Amino acid sequence: MCEGCVREEYPDRGTLCLENGCYMMNFAGCQECRDRSTPKIVNKKSDDINGEEMITFQHVCSKCNHLIGEHEHIFKVSGEYQLYEMSCILCGTGEDQRSIMPYDPRGPQMNNDFID
């Protein structure tokens, strides 16, 4: 991790969770070579750990390959919700929750489709 290349470490991004790209607004430029073009994404991988999907990659300077930060994106299902988490020194931290249901169920309803 490198504090020298970012304006703010781990900025709060609310419910924004990205599994790709980079937060250019927070990129101050490479500390090593002063390059300010979009950092490269390298070593991207996704792991499945106990039903949690974890995507990780590294932001590196596109000129000198200086390591700017490691990006973590976690996706998991908890009950009726899908949970997303992001943690990255450059892109910041975020947390989001979405219902798995295509609509909000309004309590118990008679629905013949569910009777076999």
Q: Which of 17, 30, 60, 74 binds Zn ion (CB under 5 A)?
A: 30
Q: How far is the CB of 91 from Zn ion (least distance, A)?
A: 3
6 binds Zn ion (CB under 5 A): no
60 binds Zn ion (CB under 5 A): no
Locus of tokens 């969770």: 17
1 vs 77, which CB is nearer to Zn ion?
Answer: 1
Q: Write out the DSSP string of the chain.
A: --STTBSSSS-B-TT---SSS--GGGB---TTT---SPPEEEEEEEEEETTEEEEEEEEE-TTT--EEEEEEEEEEEETTEEEEEEEETTTEEEEEEEESSSS---S----GGG--
70 binds Zn ion (CB under 5 A): no
Q: How far is the CB of 82 from Zn ion (least distance, A)?
A: 20
Cβ(80)–Cβ(103) under 8 Å?
no
36 vs 76, which CB is nearer to Zn ion?
Answer: 36
Locus of tokens 């975020």: 94
Q: Which of 8, 9, 19, 35 binds Zn ion (CB under 5 A)?
A: 35
16 vs 83, which CB is nearer to Zn ion?
Answer: 16
- Site of interaction with Zn ion (CB under 5 A): 2, 4-5, 30-33, 35, 61, 63-64, 66, 71, 88, 90-91
